[in-house]
Amino acid sequence: MKKKWHKKYRELVIDFYDFENKVRLFDVDFTKKWWLYLFKRPAHLFYYVISRIIQVSFFTLTPIFIGYLVVNFSQINLMVYVLFSIFIRINIRLSNYVYKLMIEDLRGSVQSSAYKYFLSTDPVNHSTKSTGQIVSKLNAIGRPFLNLIRDFFKGIFEPTISYLAVSIALFNLDITIGLFSLGFFLFIVSLSCYLKLFNVSVFYPELIKKRDKWQKVNIENLRDINHIRTTFATSERYKLQIKALKKGIAMYSTYDSINDLKKMILRFIETGFFVLILYLVVNLIQNGKINPVIATSMILSFYNVINNLETINNSLSSVIDMNADVEDSFKFINNFGKQSYPVLDEKEKV
């Protein structure tokens, strides 16, 4: 009885969201940049971006709104705040649904187009390429591809909107403080991006090679298991596999450690800047230029967004890494080989 009820509930939820019919797959040209395909649903993208700007700004500035309500309390102001909060929470659910449609469109289309390409290209191309390397490239445009887009929107776009919203509020407080805030944001993000791109250019090509080598050895060992056992080469092939694994681990750990050092340096800079802003705001309070309640709300909001800078820097690092992976996979697929004669109907859709 319980299993039957679970099945009915599952089917009801699946029918309600109906992703199977609403997700639209399309052919992907691997000579083009992957992010161009985000615009396949322009109306959905526009709605999602505008919705998230409103949602993030509202939640970021909530301490300031509450401070304003305390200082200028009225039932009308309270009612407006409550109604807008309800609207925002409903809108979050709708925008999340739209986001899932866009992202699954893109991820599904990239993966299905890649499979279609490998199925239809000339067999001779497969004979000169490692199956393990092919699997490694396909893995890079699976979940990592989904994480790349998620980290861009959730880890970079939204915290950036949050920081800019507070900076605009600081402009109303004091123009100098507002300019300091915006200038620091540009400085810290530019510095983070430069340091990350430098490390990627130095370490990541070698990291990809080590990962592909391990995948190649691992899958070929499994594929050739009968030959390995009959030739008594198990020990030799196992040692080869472990050697490739250790080299990959060493390269990844080194790369991850240098990124941790970069994060620590940036965190010290961010903390120092927060102390500067705190000093400037307290100075305004002491000079009687701002209400202490409003000032406290501003400081709390800025403290939250300065912590978000670490999220931006971490997500920026992840996005650069995963973009390098996806770009490498796109390049690999694009240069894999040609198709001499059609094996699929021209009208065959992914």
> How does pLDDT run across 209-240, given as a tens digit for each residue?
777 766 666 666 556 555 555 555 556 666 76
The pTM score is 0.72
Residue 123 pLDDT: 58
pLDDT in tens, 21-36: 888 888 888 788 878 8
How many angstroms separate the CA atoms of 144 and 137, rounded? 11
Do residues 209 and 194 lie in contact, with contact meaning Cβ atoms separated by under 8 Å?
no
How many angstroms separate the CA atoms of 80 and 87, rounded? 11
| 7 lies in some domain | no
- Return the CATH number at 223: 1.20.1560.10
| 12 lies in some domain | no
| 2 lies in some domain | no
Do residues 84 and 189 lie in contact, with contact meaning Cβ atoms separated by under 8 Å?
no
Q: Please give the residue range of the domain that contains residue 303.
A: 36-334
pLDDT in tens, 238-270: 676 677 777 777 777 777 788 788 888 888 888
| 9 lies in some domain | no
How many angstroms separate the CA atoms of 141 and 109, rounded? 10
pLDDT in tens, 182-198: 888 888 888 888 888 88
Residue 341 pLDDT: 47
| 183 lies in some domain | yes
Residue 223 pLDDT: 60
Q: Based on the number of CB atoms within 10 Å of its own CB, is 347 exposed (0-12), middle (13-18) or buried (19 or more)? A: exposed
Please state the domain count of the chain.
1
As a whole number, mean pLDDT of residues 317-328 equals 79
| 340 lies in some domain | no
Do residues 315 and 97 lie in contact, with contact meaning Cβ atoms separated by under 8 Å?
no
**Is residue 56 over pLDDT 70?**
yes
Name the residue among 164, 152, 115, 121 with its Cα closest to residue 137.
115
| 52 lies in some domain | yes
| 283 lies in some domain | yes
Tell me the residue type at 213.
K
Query: Which is more confident, 165 or 129?
Result: 165
Do residues 84 and 75 lie in contact, with contact meaning Cβ atoms separated by under 8 Å?
no
Mean pLDDT, the chain, integer: 78
